[in-house]
């Protein structure tokens, strides 16, 4: 037996003012998207914005349902909308933000496992890494260059 370590490289910025112009713009769209969130149960409003290789930006937000599992996260709403409208265009980046009706969200929101698996598929489909930019409502911003930095040992088509 040997012990191994998984080491991941990612960037942490103090706030959005430290970001490059493109990332800062995408984050603004994500914040806008939180305003369309339908979250009457969790009161946790998540916004996502996807930038495509052709420059188009697509927004998404979480949409909940009284039958809880029927709802969908902001990230998948945005990614599925992007792929439905532009099936041949790679996704360059996704920004994710959140605000809660209960408390200030000042830590970056990390995408859930299901959304990460969808990001894997989008990267594989287009053979293009996705930049993932995460913030809360305010505060630090985490930036991951490609889903592999956020999710080790990913499940891939080659296992099938």
Please identify which residue in 30, 49, 59, 64 interacts with ligand THU, judged by CB under 6 A. 64
Q: Are 140 and 109 in contact (CB under 8 A)?
A: no
- For residues 118 and 116, give the distance between their C-alpha atoms in angstroms, rounded to a whole number: 5
- When asked if residue 144 is in the footprint of ligand THU (CB under 6 A), the reply is no
- Residues 124 and 105: their CA atoms lie apart, in Å, by 32
Q: How far apart are CA 81 and CA 55, in angstroms?
A: 15
For residue 39, what are the CA distances in angstroms to 28, 34, 64, 77, 135? 20, 10, 5, 14, 18
Q: Does 92 bind ligand THU (CB under 6 A)?
A: no
23 lies in the binding site for ligand THU (CB under 6 A): no
Q: How far is CA 140 from the centre of its chain?
A: 15
Q: Does 111 bind ligand THU (CB under 6 A)?
A: yes
- Judged by CB under 6 A, the number of residues near ligand THU is 14
Q: Which stretch binds ligand THU (CB under 6 A): 14-22, 105-113, 139-147, 151-159?
A: 105-113
Residue range at the interface with ligand THU (CB under 6 A); choices 14-22, 67-75, 81-89, 124-132: 67-75
Contact call for residue 75 and ligand THU (CB under 6 A): yes
Please tell me whether residue 149 binds ligand THU under the rule CB under 6 A. no
């Amino acid at each position: 037996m040997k012990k191994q370590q998984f080491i991941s490289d990612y960037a942490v910025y103090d706030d959005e003012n430290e970001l490059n112009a493109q990332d800062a713009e995408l984050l603004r769209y994500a914040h806008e998207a939180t305003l369309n969130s339908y979250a009457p149960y969790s009161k946790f409003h998540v916004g996502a914005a996807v930038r495509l290789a052709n420059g188009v930006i697509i927004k998404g937000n979480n949409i909940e349902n009284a039958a809880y599992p029927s709802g969908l996260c902001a990230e998948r709403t945005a990614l599925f909308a992007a792929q439905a409208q532009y099936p041949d265009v790679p996704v360059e980046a996704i920004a994710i933000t959140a605000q809660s009706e209960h408390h200030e969200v000042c830590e970056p929101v990390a995408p859930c496992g299901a959304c990460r698996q969808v990001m894997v598929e989008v990267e594989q489909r287009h053979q293009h890494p996705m930049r993932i930019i995460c913030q809360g409502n305010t505060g630090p911003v985490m930036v991951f260059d490609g889903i592999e930095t956020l999710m080790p040992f990913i499940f891939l088509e080659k296992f099938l």
